[in-house]
Amino acid sequence: MGEFAKDPTLHWLEMYAMAPANYDAPLAAELKLIAGLTVKSAEPLARYTSMKIGGPADYFIDVENEAALANLLSALSRHRENFCLIGNGSNVLISDRGVRGAVIHLAGEFKQAQWGEKDDIPRVDVGAAYAVAQLVRQAARKGYSGLEFAEGIPGSVGGALFMNAGAFGSEFEKVVDQVEAITPGGEPLHLARAQMTFSYRDSHLPEGTIVTRVGLRLHKQESAEVTSKVRELVGKRKSSQPSGFPNSGSMFRNPPGDYAGRLIEAAGLKGKRIGQAQISERHANFIVNHGGAKADDVRRLMELARSEVHKQFGVELVAEVRLLGDWSAN
């Protein structure tokens, strides 16, 4: 595990997925009987990640609705099967050896959004699998402001909520009104905003919780003004972040009062390459895949960046990307 064994950000996504592979025939038979599931065995995960890296999952399960998700989690709990959730595949690095147990992927009704107004205040109730970028664009067309900062944030609404994603001085916590979720045992969970505690890149949701829907509270503004702001922020992202190569977004959280990318560049690592993985020449807090990069190449670059920044500046970088899967032989 190397240095990352001590990293507190590598929590349930990794821990739930490290048991030895065991094909559970009774579980497989039970899953076939649950309506709303599509189950694949030994499914390669690279196609589901923005980094285009990742070995096979023992079970890859598309879930269409909340009833199916509750039944699935209940079955996994009874069979003591490990599980994890993958959204749009950003902010994760999946081992080349894949993931032991079940990988859950939300689809169907989790990709729907319902727009409305209450007491003249715009609101949207959005499924956890809904793409953040699509949500931002729709809000702009409707003349609803509050989500402009999220333009360009990769991934799904559920993932963005879970990690309290943010940019340009704002974060998801500023627009969240309520959250619907399911516990690892399959029980529903409803959280009002007052019941939640957010911090930098963390929602502090109970471990293993799967977010299903998020209620967001926005405010009215001229559509042209919102759209103009979104375009301005798109331009800023394009001028500073890598494009054209698969990546997982920011690899490290920004330390207090500084920027991870600045520190990695100052350590002389901008452009550093291991195999087909490279610390981006445009933004040093990104690692890009030049085609055929291995998960271990990316992880070695992360360990190098963390080690050099600590050695040269005394700053401990904390991973923002989450490691997922079987790293036992790395």
* Residue 88 to residue 248: CA distance in whole angstroms: 10
Residue 201 φ then ψ, to 5°: 60, 35
Tell me the average pLDDT of the chain: 89
Cα first-last separation, the chain? 7
* Selection from 6, 4, 7, 11 nearest residue 205 by Cα: 11
Q: What is the pLDDT of residues 68-103, one digit of tens each?
A: 999 999 999 999 999 999 988 888 999 999 999 999
- Catalytic residue check, 100: no
User: What secondary structure, in 3-state letters, does 47-101 show?
Assistant: HHCCCCCCCEEEEEEEECCHHHHHHHHHHHHHCCCCEEECCCCCCEEECCCCEEE
Q: What is the pLDDT of residue 318?
A: 96
Q: Of the residues 145, 250, 280, 322, which is catalytic? A: 250
Res 18 pLDDT > 80: no
Q: What is the DSSP letter of 306?
A: H
Q: Of the residues 97, 100, 123, 201, which is catalytic? A: 201
> What is the residue whose two structure tokens read 């509750």?
70
Query: Confidence class of residue 23 from pLDDT cuts 50, 70 and 90?
Result: low
CB count, 10 Å around CB of 23?
A: 10
Across 19-33, 201-215, 252-266, the highest mean pLDDT is recorded for 252-266
H helix and E strand count, the chain: 8, 18
- Catalytic residue check, 41: no
Q: Of the residues 81, 171, 173, 320, which is catalytic? A: 320
Set out the domains of the chain in order of their start, with CATH numbers.
Answer: 2-109 (3.30.43.10), 113-239 (3.30.465.10), 244-324 (3.90.78.10)
> What is the residue whose two structure tokens read 């050695």?
311
Q: What is the pLDDT of residue 296?
A: 96
> What is the residue whose two structure tokens read 């920027």?
259
Query: Confidence class of residue 329 from pLDDT cuts 50, 70 and 90?
Result: low
* Selection from 128, 177, 174, 179 nearest residue 147 by Cα: 174
* Residue 183 to residue 206: CA distance in whole angstroms: 8
* Residue 78 to residue 26: CA distance in whole angstroms: 11
Q: CB of 312 within 8 A of CB of 267?
A: yes
Contacts with 142 (C-beta within 8 Å, 6 or more apart), sequence order:
115, 122, 223
> pTM value?
0.85
* Residue 197 to residue 249: CA distance in whole angstroms: 24
Residue 37 φ then ψ, to 5°: -115, 145
Q: CB of 257 within 8 A of CB of 277?
A: no
In sequence order, the β-bridge partners of residue 324 are: 94
Contacts with 103 (C-beta within 8 Å, 6 or more apart), sequence order:
17, 43, 45, 57, 59, 60, 61, 83, 84, 85, 86
Q: What is the pLDDT of residues 107-136, one digit of tens each?
A: 999 999 999 998 889 999 999 999 999 999
- Catalytic residue check, 250: yes
Q: What is the pLDDT of residue 93?
A: 96
* Residue 214 to residue 244: CA distance in whole angstroms: 31
Q: What is the pLDDT of residue 185?
A: 82
